[in-house]
Each structure stands twice: as C-alpha cells, then as structure tokens.
A = this chain, B = another copy of it.
Amino acid sequence: MNFSSERLLRFTQDVFEHCGMNTTDAKLAAEVLVTADMRGIDSHGLARLSGYVRLYEAGRAKMNPDWKVIHETPSTATIDADGGLGLTVAPKAMQIAIDKAKQVGTGWVAIQNSNHFGIAAYHAMMALEYDMIGIAMTNASPLVAPTHSKERMLGTNPMCYVFPAGKHKPVVVDLATSTAANGKLEIAQRANKQVPKGWIMDKNGNDTTDPNALKDGGVLLPLGSGETKAGHKGFGLSAVVDIFSAVLSGANYGPWVPPFVSFLDPVQNQPGKGIGHFVGAMRIDAFRPAVDFKQHMDNWIDRFKIAEPIDANIPVVIPGEPELTAYAERSINGIPLNDKVIEDLTTLAKKLKIEF
C-alpha cells in the first residue's frame, strides 16, 4: 500500500507535535524521516517513528531540548543536544558547520547527548545548495563485533560524504560500516530467507546465514566480513565513526552507546552523554572554483558510468543513484510502507488519537 509523502509528513509532524515538540522542529523531524522513505531507506523512515515516541515516553528523549554550543573555534563547534532527537539537532549542527565554512572554508560540529538522527544523507546533503561538500556520521546501538570478537561493541556506524556535481545529481556515499545494516536483516527475517555468509555470526562466534541469529545474541560483522576479506578495515572505519562522533564530542562510545529501543535500558556507568554525531561542511571554492569542481564531477560520473561492465546489462552504479531512482519513483507512485509498519503506525495513531 502506497502513501503520499504529504500524508506521511503531516502525520509525522502531528505525532511529534502531540509529544510536545514545537511546530518548526516537528516539521523538520518529519522531513528527515520521510526523506529516508522517499530515498528508499525504509529502515530509517516511518518504520522508526513509534520508536522515537517510545524513547520519549520512556523519558530518554526530549522533544524540546535546550541544546547549546558548549565549545567553538572559527571552524569547529561542540554541541550538547540536551537529550533531544538527532532528527532535529543534527540539521541545526549542520547549519552551524555550513555557516562556519562560509567564514573560514570548512566547518565541523561534534554533537554529544543526542539520540538517533535518521539518515546521515539528509544532514550531509544540506551542504549541496551552498556548493559545499557535506559529511555526516553517527554512532549507534552496539550490534557489530570487532574483528576477533563476538561481543557487540559498535553500531552500524554510518559515514556519509556528499559531493555536488554540475549537470548530474550529486554523488552521495552513505554507508553503514558493517557488511549489512540491520534493515537488510529485517527484510530477510520477514521473507524467511537466509542471508549471505559474512553478514552475521551467532552468539558463539560462528558464521551463520540465519538472519534470526542476530536477535538470538549474535552480532553483525564489520564491512569486509571475516579477516581474510579485510573485516579489520570495516572495524577500523567503524572505530573512526565512533571516535569522531563520541570520543570527540563527549558522548558514549563502543558498548556504552544507549540502545535505540526503549525496552533495553542504557548500561550503567556511562563514560559520556547520549549518542554522538559528527557533521562537516567544506566550501568547494575554498579549494578550487566550484564550477570547475562540478564540471570534473560530471566527467568523473560520466566516465564511471561507462566503465567496462562484467555483464553488459548491468552498468556501474554511481553512489547515490539507487536512492535517486527510488526518490523519482516514489515521487510519482508514493511510498510503499510494508504491512508491519502500517500496523505499527495505525496503533500509534489510535493511541495518540491522531488521524493516520
């Protein structure tokens, strides 16, 4: 069943306003979530809405946080998000990064004491309209084991880099630093299908293709999977995201990152506050004229599109292209929410006495 983005935006805004969020932020949070659905990142859109509400109900997320800049230099800032949602605080942090980039060429903002910020690409892509490169990363609930370990120590810790182009759409590299993100496992679970070897280990550290092993105490593997395929590199990249997002900002890192799900309590003796994000903006013309950069980005894209394919019918996919295709398709046909999500939203609407 398909839904228009307008309808989902309206509903999401209503839900957040019902929880006491101010109208401006509720609109923004709705836009971040619905943008995920529009881009085909179904795991990070409306599917998560009731989760945010439950975090709020559990007293673990504030709807109108008193966020503030607690430290800054001409090109940097650190924000205490005061337990707000990353959905609303990360765009404000990104705007600060953009403003600093306007002044001194680049801007970088670390955020502590936050909650899940939706898709990284939303925040990074804010840089595009200013002819800037956008960067966003976040740590997340621990699900991934470092190489040699079977313990959940890292989140799927995404990193996102966005580069403007000229005649072409921007290149958007947005990836979880695990081999598979949780969303792909959920799809396999629903379809009762096995997953490829190298995505997960069971709780004893054995390779498995059973997607349910994760719920049963298993772990996700870092990008690269096992050691012979360079899983230690995925671990290293995940560590980079964790350190930028949390050690630099003053948030929790590693196994101390509070879980997104409200039914799991945060662990005790946390070394930091909430979860952490890190965003950046770099003015292209702080390095070379934007028009030159964009022309060469077009050339880069054109050349990679015609790289000799293995199968003549399957060309190279430029990073960000699948999301653009989804966006275009869903702009016409609406967003196909799955039955479980519709049921979840219907229940939420009833509980809050809001029309869905």
**Interface size range on A against B:** 35 or more
CA A272 to CA B293, docked complex, whole Å: 11
Chain A residues 121 to 154 lying within 8 A of chain B, measured CB to CB, are 133, 145-151, 153
**Per-position binary interface string of chain A over residues 188-216, scored 1 when its CB falls under 8 Å from any chain B CB and 0 otherwise:** 00000000101001000100000000000
Knowing A224-B223, A300-B243 are in contact, say whether A230-B179 is a contact too (CB < 8 A): yes
Contact, CB under 8 Å: A148 / B317: yes
Cross-chain contact A239 with B148 (CB below 8 angstroms): no
Assess whether A228 is in contact with B196, with CB atoms less than 8 Å apart: yes
A15-23, A49-57, A280-288, A333-341 - interface stretch? A280-288
- Tell me how far the C-beta of A238 lies from the nearest C-beta in chain B, rounded to whole angstroms: 10
What number of copies of this chain does the assembly contain?
2
- Are A223 and B228 neighbours in the complex by a CB distance under 8 Å? no
A residues 73-116 in Cβ contact with B at 8 Å: 73-76, 78, 103-106, 108, 110
When the two chains form their complex, are residues B78 and A104 in contact, meaning their CB atoms are under 8 A apart? no
What are some 29 contacts across the A-B interface (CB < 8 A)?
Answer: A71-B287, A73-B283, A73-B286, A74-B75, A74-B103, A75-B106, A76-B282, A76-B287, A146-B304, A148-B314, A148-B317, A161-B240, A161-B243, A163-B243, A163-B247, A175-B233, A175-B236, A198-B228, A223-B223, A223-B233, A223-B234, A224-B224, A224-B229, A225-B229, A236-B319, A243-B300, A248-B287, A250-B292, A254-B303
Q: A76-B286, A293-B247 are in contact. Are A316 and B146 (CB under 8 A)?
A: yes
CB closest residue in chain B, given A322? B232
